[in-house]
Amino acid sequence: YYPYWADHDESIPWEHLTHLAFFSVSLNPDGSLGNDHNWSTRGAALVEAGKSHGVKVVLTVTMFDSDEIREVLSTPENRDRAIQNLLTLVQDAGGEGINIDFEFVPAPQAGESPSPKENFVTFMQDLTTAFHAAIDNSHVSLATPAIDWGGTYDYDALALSTDGLMIMGYGY
């Protein structure tokens, strides 16, 4: 991850990287975009620098509220809106993919079907399909907890429907 508050773009050790994930743009529960933390102004320059070193520059998308994650995943309209908005934002900067950092996918509520776990897999499948169709050799990944205490991540399905899982091993 390359956080938006880092202001030393000229000293990125490109020769040691394969991917750089700009952190981050926030996503709203209705699938609209929140603060892009200057991706729209810095993204293209980072992408250009990355390409000159053979590094894929991707945009990280964050949601850190379980209720908001439930809402964005709950309807095809919200998921589709999010995918289209994210794809446009990445394409406008010439980016090469996306990294999803949703902390944490919520457990299902009584009677909720499909569950957020199932909707997250659907979202990631649709996101990967959209990015792969629109951007040649794009990279779609997601951040996962090191231990899924709530059983809300389908690691097998997520691994099969994306280009990679990044395990957040903070504290290990």
Q: What type of residue is 48?
A: E
pLDDT in tens, 90-99: 999 999 999 9
* 157 pLDDT more than 80: yes
pLDDT in tens, 52-105: 999 999 999 999 999 999 999 999 999 999 999 999 999 999 999 999 999 989
Cβ neighbours of residue 165 under 8 Å, at least 6 residues apart?
Answer: 141, 142, 143, 144, 155, 158, 159
Query: Band of the pLDDT at 159, cuts 50, 70, 90?
Result: very high
Asked if 164 and 121 count as a contact pair (C-beta separation under 8 A), the reply is: no
Query: Band of the pLDDT at 172, cuts 50, 70, 90?
Result: confident
Q: What type of residue is 90?
A: V
What mean pLDDT is predicted for residues 135-139? 98
Asked if 112 and 133 count as a contact pair (C-beta separation under 8 A), the reply is: no
- Return d(Cα 36, Cα 151) in angstroms, integer: 30
> What is the DSSP annotation of 92-155?
HTT--EEEEEES-PPPPPTT-SS-HHHHHHHHHHHHHHHHHHHSTT-EEEEEEESS-TT----H
- Where do we find the tokens 């095809």? 76
* 35 pLDDT more than 80: yes
Query: Band of the pLDDT at 154, cuts 50, 70, 90?
Result: very high
Query: Taking Cα atoms as reference points, which of 104, 105, 102 lies closest to residue 114?
Result: 105
- Return d(Cα 88, Cα 83) in angstroms, integer: 9
